[in-house]
Chains A and B, each alone.
Chain A
Amino acid sequence: MTVRMKPVDVALVGGGLTAAILGKELAEAGQTVVALERGGMRQTVPDFQSPTMHDELKYDVRHAYAQDVSVQTITFRNFVGQQALPMRQLGSFLPGEGVGGGATHWNGQTWRFQPEWFVLKSWAEQRYGRGFLDDDVTIQDWGITYEELEPYYTFFEKVMGISGAPGNIKGQIQVGGNPFEGPRSEPYPNPPMKQSHSGFLFGQAAAQLGYRPFPVPSANVTRHYTNPFGAEIKPCMYCGFCDPFGCEHFAKASPQVCILPFALANKNFEMRTHSYVLRVEWDRQAKVASGVTYVDAQGREVFQPASMVVLCAFAHHNPILMLQSRIGQPYDPETRTGTVGRNYTYQTMTGAEVFYDGEKRINPFMAAGALGTAIDDFNNGSFDHSGLGFIGGGYIAAYQTTGRPIYHHPVPEGTPRWGLGWKQAVRQHYNSTVSLGFHGSSIPHPNNYLGVDPTYTDAFGQPLGMLTYDFPYNDRLMARYITEKMAGIAQAMGGKQMSVGWLDDHYSIVPYQTTHNTGGAIMGTDPKTSVVNRYLQSWDLHNLWVMGSSVFPQNAGYNPTDTVGALAYWAADAMIKQYLKNPGPLVQP
């Protein structure tokens, strides 16, 4: 029998970054809030402390802080018609589990999206004409503009103590920053990180070629800093154990360091751990969510009634929860109708390596999560796509994030995969190689979507979510074009050898690429093509809201979290200033 809890004003599904943001804001607005987190509590002290935190095997290889797929996973296939099979081990992405979510063990590369990304469809049509893209490129406008979101970016960056060099303050291009970024109202709260040897070599070559290198904006905070709530963040020590580790130094901006203490101090807020949410309950007549059902630590099924439900369960988990709760119309790739699960996107990544064959010492272990030098000359709004046949773009960077040798031991192409030749190559190249990465956008395609699997179930007996994804033609063209530019920079870096990893295969669930899953419950202006409105409020149930990168109609050529955080503050504002006063749809369809 289902246990029934005392009703609360707000139930948050998940206890990660967006849940921390909403939990604090809504509790302070007088709402009783409970965050239901499937994992346990963890804190800088005692959980993230040295030396035991610096364990590559436990955290990086065996994924101590990531989702336990023995309990719940997804199934995956490349194309409609193929049999989807369960992701039996983590690989391509590593969703977080435990208080703080992915934002506890992230790298902290904190990018704003260029203004064009928010109005991509109308921008592309206006600039390149209506016939420029074919019908399979289902890009959309977000229903919000960069200008509207800018104050929320600025606030989130203050909360997190982001450290960077501004490139555009109120339209004035700034020396040393990213000249291609949208105008910001204020500089970053903290100065940029130091420059690594990798970044120096990359930046020098890029500048010689006429590109404009700058330091990557970082949540590895660069000095003692107090955020607007009074949280004290300390300087990054460049420890080289950033993602997927907790930071022992209180230096990586995370929910635990920056936000949660203030939510937890409020008696209106409760973080209920070991609570696995199965579905959102809703009233078919009244068209409102009535609460959530979860399995508690004892294994009991529990109903938590709530006047408002907010999905904060990360990227693809949010739309999958909606599908499992039968909210909204599921997307059907055959008819191309329905919205929930539509426009799942990811990130298009390629890489290159420059080998100095012992002539330079890179010291790759002198590293930090967002320690990088980048160019943004090939992001979507920075260059002309005329005649190229694709839309999108991304940044190219030399990050020096890790020298941890189980995973980091670059060798040139043609090196044997094992044996003496491999061992000697590892020894020669470990400390003398620079890695470059292209961080590209991801454009939706009608066949890439999230659904519910017909065969496989989770530990609770529910059907698993099902992912259908392959890199669309648009993104392959885009990756080829920009990877060539990256290879040109690599060439100019003066190494003895180089290798380039082209995007020339199907998407695979096996190798780690990035935990930047996006889309599936997208925001927009039309309930026929979006799941939530511009305030992240469900078109179907006005008291249900969706946070996180789930709402991106397409993914930009940047990491998502600055935009995720800004949108959460934007939505919190709409809830508090508009919705709570008069609950109902904030946008009439």
Chain B
Amino acid sequence: MAVTVPDHAAAEEHPVQVAQVGRQNALSSPPPRADLPAERGMLFFFNDEEARFVDAAVERLIPSDSEWPGAAWAGVLNFIDRQLAAAYGAGARMYLKGPWVPDAPPQQGYQLRYTPAQLYRIGIAETRAHVTSNYSGREFWDLGAPVMDEVLSSLESGAIELPSLPAPVFFETLLANTIEGFFGDPVYGGNRDMVGWRMVGFPGAYAQFIDLVELYNLPYTRPPISIGDTGARQAYLDGHTHDAQRQ
């Protein structure tokens, strides 16, 4: 089912970029409707079980609350899946030659031989194996939220030892990618309906603040714009650049 764009009534009443100062302390436009179901796009990299793991884990990292949906609703699973299926997952722009020294001090950075895609595949499998053997055969996603948090914290601290890679490296990669998927442009498959941007009040790809930058404390309520916004893109393709006048 296609999900409609959330209701922007408050912002649309004021097509000007900015509402009056002091009118309302809202830092951003209204939250999208979290009661709408999360969308699952086509998966390019994860299998269904891996996807269940990732969806459950990212929702613990950025959970929904009474006002704002979390990472699962925002499509972070789809974001990470597409990243791993593409250049990032394949280790593009990484130096991956040996020899490898996996227990190097943290100051020397990432020293594993895995591409990000391999890191996820192994990290998920080994975390799941750890969970099933320590939590009476259950899967990570069947644990209650507090127990999932406990597992994630133990990955973060290294209290869980995975056989083939340092658990904190897997955890930090997952956390970084989750934040990217929640706050990156929605064209990449996450940040659905620009939920991350609305939550903090980031206007997105629209960017010209020369006339506003000195209006301190201005409530800026114009809804955000994605780089995939077809109107903005079309204006560009039509020749409406800053340099050339539209004919």
Which residues does chain A contribute within 8 Å of B196, judged by CB atoms?
405
Partner of B217, one of A63, A360, A404, A419: A360
Q: How far does the alpha carbon of A371 sit from the alpha carbon of B210 in the complex, in Å?
A: 11
Which residues does chain A contribute within 8 Å of B185, judged by CB atoms?
55-57
Partner of A51, one of B101, B214, B233: B233
* Pair A405/B227 contact, Cβ less than 8 Å: no
Interface locus among A83-91, A108-116, A174-182, A210-218: A83-91
Q: How far does the alpha carbon of A409 sit from the alpha carbon of B179 in the complex, in Å?
A: 10
Q: 8 Å CB contacts to B: which residues of A76-127? A: 76-78, 83, 85-91
Instruction: Determine whether A236 belongs to the interface, using a CB cutoff of 8 Å to chain B.
Output: yes
Instruction: Determine whether A506 belongs to the interface, using a CB cutoff of 8 Å to chain B.
Output: yes
Partner of A423, one of B65, B204, B241: B65
Interface residues on B, range: 35 or more
Q: 8 Å CB contacts to A: which residues of B225-247? A: 225-227, 229, 232-233, 236, 241-243
Instruction: Determine whether A278 belongs to the interface, using a CB cutoff of 8 Å to chain B.
Output: no
- A209 to B: closest C-beta gap in Å: 21
Indicate with 1 or 0, residue by residue over A399-431, a CB within 8 angstroms of chain B CB atoms: 000011110010000000111101110110011
Q: How far does the alpha carbon of A367 sit from the alpha carbon of B203 in the complex, in Å?
A: 12
Q: How many chain A residues have a CB neighbour from B under 8 Å?
A: 76
Instruction: Determine whether B149 belongs to the interface, using a CB cutoff of 8 Å to chain A.
Output: yes
* Pair A52/B227 contact, Cβ less than 8 Å: yes
Please report whether the interface of chain A is mostly helix, strand, loop or mixed according to DSSP.
loop
Q: How far does the alpha carbon of A91 sit from the alpha carbon of B242 in the complex, in Å?
A: 33
* Pair B207/A240 contact, Cβ less than 8 Å: yes
Which residues does chain B contribute within 8 Å of A200, judged by CB atoms?
216
Which residues does chain A contribute within 8 Å of B37, judged by CB atoms?
none
Which residues does chain B contribute within 8 Å of A238, judged by CB atoms?
208-210, 213
* Pair B200/A426 contact, Cβ less than 8 Å: yes
Instruction: Determine whether B85 belongs to the interface, using a CB cutoff of 8 Å to chain A.
Output: no
Partner of A366, one of B93, B204, B212, B227: B212
* Pair B232/A51 contact, Cβ less than 8 Å: yes
* Pair B109/A70 contact, Cβ less than 8 Å: no
Q: 8 Å CB contacts to B: which residues of A142-160? A: none
Q: How many A-B residue pairs have CB under 8 A?
A: 201
Which residues does chain A contribute within 8 Å of B209, judged by CB atoms?
237-240, 363, 365-367
* Pair A56/B184 contact, Cβ less than 8 Å: yes
* Pair B200/A427 contact, Cβ less than 8 Å: yes
Indicate with 1 or 0, residue by residue over A58-85, a CB within 8 angstroms of chain B CB atoms: 0001110000111001001110000101
Which residues does chain B contribute within 8 Å of A361, judged by CB atoms?
27, 216-220
Which residues does chain B contribute within 8 Å of A404, judged by CB atoms?
202
Q: How far does the alpha carbon of A87 sit from the alpha carbon of B106 in the complex, in Å?
A: 12
* Pair A506/B107 contact, Cβ less than 8 Å: yes
* Pair B96/A70 contact, Cβ less than 8 Å: yes
Instruction: Determine whether A329 belongs to the interface, using a CB cutoff of 8 Å to chain B.
Output: no
Partner of B93, one of A57, A70, A457, A509: A70
Q: How far does the alpha carbon of A49 sit from the alpha carbon of B236 in the complex, in Å?
A: 8
Q: 8 Å CB contacts to B: which residues of A504-557? A: 506-510
Instruction: Determine whether B10 belongs to the interface, using a CB cutoff of 8 Å to chain A.
Output: no
* Pair A89/B110 contact, Cβ less than 8 Å: yes
- B192 to A: closest C-beta gap in Å: 15
* Pair B62/A427 contact, Cβ less than 8 Å: no
- A74 to B: closest C-beta gap in Å: 10
- A401 to B: closest C-beta gap in Å: 12
Knowing A54-B207, A240-B209, A406-B183 are in contact, say whether A431-B201 is a contact too (CB < 8 A): yes
Instruction: Determine whether A480 belongs to the interface, using a CB cutoff of 8 Å to chain B.
Output: no
- Closest residue on chain A to residue B213 by CB atoms: A366
Which residues does chain B contribute within 8 Å of A45, judged by CB atoms?
241, 243
Q: How far does the alpha carbon of A54 sit from the alpha carbon of B226 in the complex, in Å?
A: 9
- Closest residue on chain A to residue B113 by CB atoms: A88
Q: How far does the alpha carbon of A83 sit from the alpha carbon of B104 in the complex, in Å?
A: 9
Instruction: Determine whether B175 belongs to the interface, using a CB cutoff of 8 Å to chain A.
Output: yes
Indicate with 1 or 0, residue by residue over B173-209, a CB within 8 angstroms of chain A CB atoms: 0010011100111001000000011011111111111
* Pair A508/B107 contact, Cβ less than 8 Å: yes
Which residues does chain B contribute within 8 Å of A68, judged by CB atoms?
93
- B207 to A: closest C-beta gap in Å: 4
Instruction: Determine whether B121 belongs to the interface, using a CB cutoff of 8 Å to chain A.
Output: no
Instruction: Determine whether B111 belongs to the interface, using a CB cutoff of 8 Å to chain A.
Output: yes
Instruction: Determine whether A462 belongs to the interface, using a CB cutoff of 8 Å to chain B.
Output: no
* Pair A69/B93 contact, Cβ less than 8 Å: yes
Knowing A405-B196, A509-B107 are in contact, say whether A70-B94 is a contact too (CB < 8 A): yes
Instruction: Determine whether B143 belongs to the interface, using a CB cutoff of 8 Å to chain A.
Output: no
Q: How far does the alpha carbon of A62 sit from the alpha carbon of B210 in the complex, in Å?
A: 28
- A460 to B: closest C-beta gap in Å: 12
Instruction: Determine whether A235 belongs to the interface, using a CB cutoff of 8 Å to chain B.
Output: yes
Instruction: Determine whether B68 belongs to the interface, using a CB cutoff of 8 Å to chain A.
Output: yes
Q: How far does the alpha carbon of A339 sit from the alpha carbon of B210 in the complex, in Å?
A: 48
* Pair A418/B175 contact, Cβ less than 8 Å: yes
> Most chain-B Cβ atoms within 10 A of its Cβ — which of A195, A361, A363?
A363
- B157 to A: closest C-beta gap in Å: 11
Which residues does chain B contribute within 8 Å of A409, judged by CB atoms?
179, 183, 200
Q: How far does the alpha carbon of A456 sit from the alpha carbon of B99 in the complex, in Å?
A: 8
* Pair A197/B217 contact, Cβ less than 8 Å: yes
Which residues does chain A contribute within 8 Å of B197, judged by CB atoms?
405
* Pair A85/B111 contact, Cβ less than 8 Å: yes
- Closest residue on chain A to residue B220 by CB atoms: A363
Instruction: Determine whether A185 belongs to the interface, using a CB cutoff of 8 Å to chain B.
Output: no
- Closest residue on chain A to residue B190 by CB atoms: A57
- Closest residue on chain A to residue B27 by CB atoms: A431
* Pair B214/A195 contact, Cβ less than 8 Å: yes
* Pair B236/A50 contact, Cβ less than 8 Å: yes
Which residues does chain A contribute within 8 Å of B27, judged by CB atoms?
358, 361, 427, 430-431
* Pair B217/A457 contact, Cβ less than 8 Å: no
Which residues does chain B contribute within 8 Å of A431, judged by CB atoms?
27, 200-201
Knowing A239-B208, A366-B212 are in contact, say whether A508-B183 is a contact too (CB < 8 A): no
Instruction: Determine whether B97 belongs to the interface, using a CB cutoff of 8 Å to chain A.
Output: yes
- A337 to B: closest C-beta gap in Å: 28
Instruction: Determine whether A241 belongs to the interface, using a CB cutoff of 8 Å to chain B.
Output: yes
* Pair B184/A57 contact, Cβ less than 8 Å: yes
* Pair A49/B200 contact, Cβ less than 8 Å: no
* Pair A51/B95 contact, Cβ less than 8 Å: no
**A-B contacts besides A62-B93, A88-B110, A420-B63, 4 pairs, CB < 8 Å:** A54-B204, A89-B94, A365-B207, A419-B62
Chain A residues within CB distance 8 Å of chain B: 44-45, 49-52, 54-57, 61-63, 68-70, 73, 76-78, 83, 85-91, 194-197, 200, 234-241, 248-250, 358, 360-361, 363, 365-367, 371, 403-406, 409, 417-420, 422-424, 426-427, 430-431, 455-457, 506-510
30 contacting pairs across A/B (C-beta < 8 A): A45-B243, A51-B226, A51-B232, A51-B233, A54-B227, A57-B184, A57-B188, A61-B180, A70-B93, A70-B95, A76-B108, A76-B109, A83-B101, A85-B111, A86-B95, A89-B95, A240-B207, A361-B216, A363-B209, A363-B213, A367-B213, A405-B202, A406-B184, A418-B175, A418-B178, A423-B65, A423-B68, A424-B65, A430-B200, A509-B108
